[in-house]
Structure 1
Amino acid sequence: MIDNPFDAFVGSRKPVPMYDAAEEGKAFAYLLWGDGVKFEGAPGTGSRRKVTVRGRTGWVLASALDGTSLLEFYFIDVGQGDGVLVKTPSFQHILIDGGFPRDKQPSGKSAADFIDWKFVKDYGLSSVELDALISSHNDEDHYGGLSDLLGVDVTEELDADAIHVDRFYHAGVSWWTVGGKRSLGEVVEHDGERYLVDLLDDRDSALQGLDAASTRPLQGEWAKFIRRVADTTTADGGHCEFARLSDETPWLPGFDPDASDVSIRVLAPIEAEVQGRAALRNLGRSELNTNGHSILLRVDYGRTRTLLTGDLNKGAQQDILHAMAGSLLELQCDVAKACHHGSADVSLAFLQAMAPSATIISSGDAEGHDHPRPAIVAASGATGHLTVVKDEIVTPLVYSTELARSYAVGKLDRIEVPGGAAVEGDDLARTTLHYRTTKAGDLRPKKGSRKARGAYVVSGLVYGLVNVRTDGETLLAATLDEKNAEWSVRTFPARF
């Protein structure tokens, strides 16, 4: 937990303009409900107060700064993958997943860049301080950006001087080297079912898996990530704690109702005991197991519930429904992060059990998965909680980080070469542009070329970040409008 770095908070649920002058002037940015500001100088005689917010300085109406710190969810646009930062009203921070690593991203960005900005530019700190780091499962489009954040070689590219993590949580299913090949480990049979029993557990388990002399070492990029977690320290120089989560862990440690204003339930993976060992049901192919045994969290605050689902698939969802039979109301929520980027491998009954007022889909373009699938976008709306006011639909809402991302594209008409003549007109047809394209998840970019005449350049980019904020009674969802740099905001009431 960090100390509150702000002097005041925006209390208006409508975007608040920030001006470039103490009187009149032009609005150049807009603040959201719950945004924290730092005062610059003493109050003046006018209606505006000079503040710094998100690393920018300007003037805002003093009357708008009557708010309090909120529970905030940042659904980070990491392309193909997941990345969610949870910030509590008391300034605890939980980072869940981070997308592919930078070198496998078309944009060259991962969640590490957003986290770096949040702590350094927004909070004005010199280090990133995370109360918990969670890898929902062991697929690289989820843990890769976390590895970026912790990597010493990559930290040089960030503004933060240090990264501190108190606790690391994971789902247990891991990549091991067995017989020289990548494997999820031993599978045993019990009562007609097959179970995975080689589960990563605590810090000692991780260090054993990282030992070169181990008979069952951790494998590949997952091993590199676990090594980086093991090498990460807390703010006081201690070791980052390790723990495996399952439904046998009722609450995320430190976030039970008696310990925190925000409580976090752990609903999955569904754990069994087989031959005296913790086990998870074998769902079939490796990708079904890695996705299906994602950590499922429910974040409760006041009357609000938010479900964070990782890459849960149909088989896992059906197991969860079976395990929670008689208490399916526990799955109902105000906000749900869609399972597996809007994949079609989903249980309709699970969507109906969640019945969210808002669904957030984290997906990326140009990655060959065709997420989100049209039927799932439709199903997310059809199974969402319907609220109608004055003949207008308030909820359900469906957001997609991919759809919220936008590009400003301009046609190339002139190239200025240092110390030389400008290239324009007919010369563009004789000038060749060379470039590299990285598809999500690819390690090596593909080279390409084309003539400069007729080429287009990306002149601006708005990342598809989806903000969700709440005071425990009302929820706000917001995305940035690329045309005027204003926020598109929807508010709706909590249901619980």
Structure 2
Amino acid sequence: MKFQKNFKLYILGLFLCFNFLIWYGVLAEERKELIVAFLDVGQGDAIFIEAPSGKQVLIDGGQNRQFISKLSEVMPFYDRSIDMVVLTHPDEDHVGGLPSVLENYTVDFVLEPGVNSDNATYIKFEDLIKEKGIEKVLARQGMSICLDNLPGTKSLSDCGVLLEVLFPNQDASEFDTNLASVVLKLTNGDNSFLFTGDSPKSIEKYLVDVLGDNLDVDVLKLGHHGSKTSNSDLFLGFTSPEYAIASVGLNNSYGHPHKEVLDLLEKFGVNLLRTDEEGTIIFKSDGVSDLKVGSL
């Protein structure tokens, strides 16, 4: 009887190992594509990026620790590390779940604007960065991060998946928090994404003045959840996205996305995807073909 019991446990162990290897292989196959997931976190922002190399970036963390359950939907259960966490700015609907990320995942480094804030959640986030010895980098225009780890990638010009900081362009410590938002451009071959945090129209105009046609992207994360204080006619014209993402809560009290922005998107023929309607929105990019888009 003991032999039979041990034999059954042995077979069960082999089955579990075999099952794990199959799923690991499936996930590895998927990593041939860049994955960008706009998580359904209600009235807040959280964006998960995984490059074909396996490098992972998390931009913002929603309103609270409940966002962790959404993150677990796009990360394998056994994966307890994230290469980089980006905090665009320390408002609650962006920093809310990030302390829980630092408590539950190993994080290599944090990128943030360096704006002063007395938000208690942000202070806890900063304390955890120090406590865990995580490297912190202040985002500045001109910084570029290659998400490849491929042999032969010797310079940024060889980089397959490139993350660029477009703003802030200076010390942002005394800025209004929205004004200080980190703006990032992600490029994978012919596919590109723009993440704007809660940047207002004044920053959009600055970016147009400095970058012009280089702002042209396939996917735009609408500024400030689709508020009319962002997403100007000028900015939408220069970014010229095929898709715009509104990360918003269902029946939110702010009325996001605002009608003025919806009208502009219609004017420019932009496809709007909303997390309150679609759930988590996932793009897959091979850098050559048209983007594949789905939802959870």
Letter of the aligned partner of 1:128 in structure 2?
Answer: R
The yes-or-no answer on 1:471 pairing with 2:286 is yes
Secondary structure at the counterpart of residue 467 of structure 1 = strand
Unaligned runs of 5+ in 2: 1-16, 149-154
Q: Which amino acid aligns with 1:168?
A: V
Query: What's the counterpart of residue 265 of structure 1?
Result: 164
CA 1:343–1:39 in 2, change beyond 3 Å: closer, same or farther? farther
Amino acid of the residue matched to residue 233 of structure 2?
L
Q: Does 1:337 align with 2:221?
A: yes
| Aligned twin of 1:113 | 69
Within the candidate set 217, 220, 236, 1:351 is matched to 236
* Amino acid aligned to 2:131: D
1:68 Cα offset (Å): 6.2
The aligned residue for residue 228 of structure 1 is 128
- Relative to structure 1, is the Cα distance of residues 226 and 371 closer, same or farther in structure 2, using a 3 angstrom cutoff? same
Output the CA distance in 1 between the equivalents of 2:172 and 2:84.
Answer: 24
Q: Give the Å deviation of 1:260.
A: 4.1
Q: Is the 8 A contact 2:129 2:135 kept in 1?
A: no
- What is the match of residue 241 of structure 1? 135
| Paired position in structure 2 for 1:210 | none
RMSD of equivalent CA atoms: 2.8
Distance 1:309 1:319 in 2: 13
Q: CA deviation at 1:373?
A: 1.1
2:245 equivalent in structure 1 = 360
- Which amino acid counterpart does residue 88 of structure 1 have in structure 2? A
Is 1:72–1:468's contact at 8 Å kept on the other side of the alignment?
yes
Q: Larger RCO: Structure 1 or Structure 2 (Cα < 8 Å, ≥ 6 residues apart)?
A: 2
CA contact (8 A) 1:75 1:83 kept: yes
Q: How far apart in 2 are the matches of 1:170 and 1:116? A: 23
Q: Which has the higher strand share?
A: 1
Aligned to 1:372: 257
Which residue does 1:131 correspond to in 2?
83
Q: Secondary structure at the match of 2:177?
A: helix
Given that 1:293 and 1:316 are in contact with CA atoms closer than 8 Å, whether structure 2 keeps it comes out as no
Structure 1 residue 79: deviation in Å?
Answer: 0.2
User: 1:372/1:279 Cα in 2 relative to 1: closer, same or farther (>3 Å)?
Assistant: closer
2:290 is equivalent to residue 290 of structure 1: no
Judging by fraction of residues, say which structure has more helix: 2
Tell me whether 1:172 sits opposite 2:172 in the alignment: no
Cα distance change on mapping 1:259 and 1:227 into 2, 3 Å: farther
Are 2:92 and 1:140 aligned?
yes
- Which amino acid in structure 2 is aligned with residue 69 of structure 1? K
Alignment deviations for residues 429-484 of structure 1 (CA, whole Å, 9 cap, x no partner): xxxxxxxxxxxxxxxxxxxxxxxxxxxxxxxxxxx10011110012111124xxxx
Shift of residue 124, structure 1, vs aligned partner:
4.5
Cα pair distance change 1:115/1:231, threshold 3 Å: farther
Q: Which letter maps to 1:250? A: M
Paired amino acid for 2:295? T
After the TM superposition, which residues 291-306 of structure 1 pair with which residues of structure 2 at under 5 Å, given as runs?
A: 291-306=178-193
Q: Distance in 1 between matches of 2:241 and 2:159?
A: 24
Alignment of 1:76-475 (within 5 A): 76-102=39-65, 109-110=66-67, 112-119=68-75, 123-125=76-78, 127-151=79-103, 155=104, 163-176=105-118, 220-232=120-132, 239-247=133-141, 249-252=142-145, 257-258=156-157, 260-271=159-170, 278-279=171-172, 282=175, 289-322=176-209, 324=210, 327-346=211-230, 347-384=232-269, 396-404=270-278, 464-473=279-288, 474-475=290-291
**Deviation per residue, 1:106-135 (Å, 9 max, x gap):** xxx21x22333444xxx351x521110000
Tell me the amino acid that sits aligned with residue 265 of structure 1: E
Unpaired runs of 5+ residues, structure 1, are 1-37, 43-50, 56-64, 103-108, 156-162, 177-218, 233-238, 272-277, 283-288, 385-395, 405-463, 481-496
Shift of 1:52: 4.5
Amino acid across the alignment from 1:147: P
Q: Would you say how many aligned residue pairs link Structure 1 and Structure 2? A: 271
In the TM superposition, residue 348 of structure 1 has moved relative to its aligned partner by 1.4
Supply the distance in 2 between the matched residues of 1:130 and 1:312 (Cα, whole angstroms): 25
Contact 1:361 1:400 in 2 (8 A): yes
Cα drift, residue 270 of structure 1: 2.8
Give the Cα–Cα distance (whole angstroms) in 1 for the partners of residues 61 and 20 of structure 2: 38
Structure 1, residues 51-76: CA drift from partner, whole Å, max 9, x if none? 658x9xxxxxxxxx987620000100
Kindly, what percent of the aligned residue pairs are identical? 27
Contact 1:270/1:319, CA 8 A, preserved across alignment = no
| Secondary structure of residue in 1 paired with 2:250 | coil
Shift of 1:304: 1.1
Deviates more, 1:341-350 or 1:87-96: 341-350
- Residue 375 of structure 1, CA deviation: 2.0
Change (3 A) 1:297 1:39: farther
| SS of residue in 2 equivalent to 1:294 | coil
In structure 2, the CA distance between the partners of 1:39 and 1:467, relative to structure 1 (3 Å rule), is farther
The answer on whether the counterparts of 1:270 and 1:320 sit within 8 Å (CA) in structure 2 is no
Query: Is the CA contact 1:270–1:280 (under 8 Å) kept in the aligned structure 2?
Result: no
1:321-347 CA-partner distances (Å, limit 9, x unpaired): 23x1xx411100011111110101122
Distance, in Å, in 2 between the alignment partners of 1:67 and 1:371 is: 33
